[in-house]
Amino acid sequence: MSELFNRFKQIKTFIFDVDGVLTDGGINALDSGECFRTFYIHDAYAIQHAIRAGFRVAIISAANTEGVRKWLTILAVKDLFMGGPNDQKINAYLGYLTRDSLKEEEVLYMGDDIPDYEILRRPALVSTCPADAADEVQAICDYVSPKTGGRGAVRDVVEHVMKAQGLWFNK
């Protein structure tokens, strides 16, 4: 864990998938045809705390619903890459790095399933996933949170990074 702790000290940007990471992966379908997702307030708090502390937070997701977009905007997440095909997440990721001149070793990415695999296998970034991520994803990640998607996995990695940097609630 000490090597990972040192890598956590370098993180300046968090990038998260939505379904299975910020949510538990479930979609509730109403009779009207509308669908909704449930987010975990502890994850939301950690994202807001990270942004206030100066971290960049971005979302890369094939999902592109107005409700999700509004929720992320309420959290003050500005970099939203939503709505592209699952197999094009890597293009959104590389485009974001290039557009904002980000160093990959300063990026932590959390994904949970095969569409995230191509990003997660990049050796320079810190690759993370929830406890209930696909087996193939868990096998390649630097850190597997003991928390599940939509139930604290995001809070877990944000807390680890901010604690490593001395930025998580110093009393």
Residues contributing to the annotated binding site for Mg(2+): 17, 112
Feature table: binding site for substrate: 19
- What DSSP letter does each residue of 82-132 carry, written as one string? ESS-GGGHHHHHHHHHHHTT--GGGEEEE--SGGGHHHHT-SSSEEEE-TT
Per the annotation, binding residues are: 17, 19, 112
In the numeric block, which tokens belong to residue 17? 């998938």
Specify the DSSP element, H or E, that contains 143. strand 143-144
Q: Contact, 133 vs 144, CB < 8 A?
A: yes
Half-sphere exposure (Cβ direction) of 55: Cα atoms closer than 13 Å: 28
φ/ψ (deg, to 5) at 14: -105, 135
> Measured between alpha carbons, how far is 135 from 91 in angstroms, rounded to an integer?
23
